[in-house]
Structure 1
């Protein structure tokens, strides 16, 4: 995959975990940010996805920047919010991380569909990916908005 739009993410993913398996905040967010230009190439149809991912990255980056030593590991952000009983808030980093990883699951499934089903339209690939990843987490309103 040398020289593709995925190269920065594939290289970056090698540096996301410590040898002990702990997720490092900054490298993880860098990998996530590297996927934004790829999403942008899909045009207006993916604007909402790109915006949602970008917003969650920004939320996590702000928390990290507030204390890079304390929040060097993603787990520490979640742990701090659990201890302060703010993890379940819609604006929490825990919630942002949850939706960021769900969005990444959607994108992985979308890229898989596009690779394996070359005869599918973008709409078919997105709908299938959505139903396999995000639909179970969305209410009927969000699900119907996605379809539109």
Structure 2
């Protein structure tokens, strides 16, 4: 009997279709990739409840905007371009802000899984803390930072966590996820930087 694929299976399937003509990022598949990470976040248990609600909220915000005009917002960055033109991009409830924080949350997850791959001797707490320090921490105020520090102490044991992620070629799947998704997230940052929107901090 074939082994069950890992929890990354759906994500890797969608990642293959995230670009359209001229290599542009497509709104719906990008949001679907992020959405497909929610079951992965679930495997962390209650420790990642903050990340899950943040990611879910930002996907919902972008989804709602996309649904208003699927033709105009077919390409991910066109949502941001419209808000920049309307001078609403800096609003805390803007889709631009949503994309920025969604990208940062995904940065954190990519970095966490990269740490698990590169450092087989690290505990989950160590991998999580290092990922947080390298991604989200500098953008968080002290309250969010304190909440995250507590959450990182609650992550499951590494061996148990790996069992929850499913079978198949788990390390290969993680590596494919990290190496495929990281450049897309970097592209988001480069674009947001080009319109002056990559350095917003949490209040």
TM-score by length of 1: 0.94
Instruction: Tell me whether 7-16 or 110-119 shows the greater mean CA deviation.
Output: 110-119
Structure 1 unaligned residues grouped into runs of 5+: none
> Structure with the greater relative contact order (CA < 8 A, sep ≥ 6): 1 or 2?
2
Aligned residue pairs total 147
Aligned to 1:146: 148
Could you list the runs of 4 or more consecutive aligned residues of structure 1 that deviate by over 4 angstroms after TM superposition? Answer: none
Structure 2 unaligned residues grouped into runs of 5+: 151-203
TM-score by length of 2: 0.69
1:42-57 equivalence runs, <5 A: 42-57=44-59
Bigger Cα Rg: 2
User: What do the CA deviations read for 1:40-97 (whole angstroms, capped 9, x no partner)?
Assistant: 0110001111111011000000000011111101111001101111100110000000
**Offset, 1:121:** 2.5
Distance (Å, rounded) in 2 between the aligned partners of 1:114 and 1:49: 18
Where 1:20 maps in the other structure, the secondary structure is helix
Superposition CA RMSD, Å: 1.3
**Offset, 1:139:** 2.1
**Offset, 1:24:** 0.4
Distance (Å, rounded) in 1 between the aligned partners of 2:57 and 2:65: 13
**Offset, 1:109:** 0.6
Aligned to 1:122: 124
Of 87, 106, 109, 2:108 maps to 106
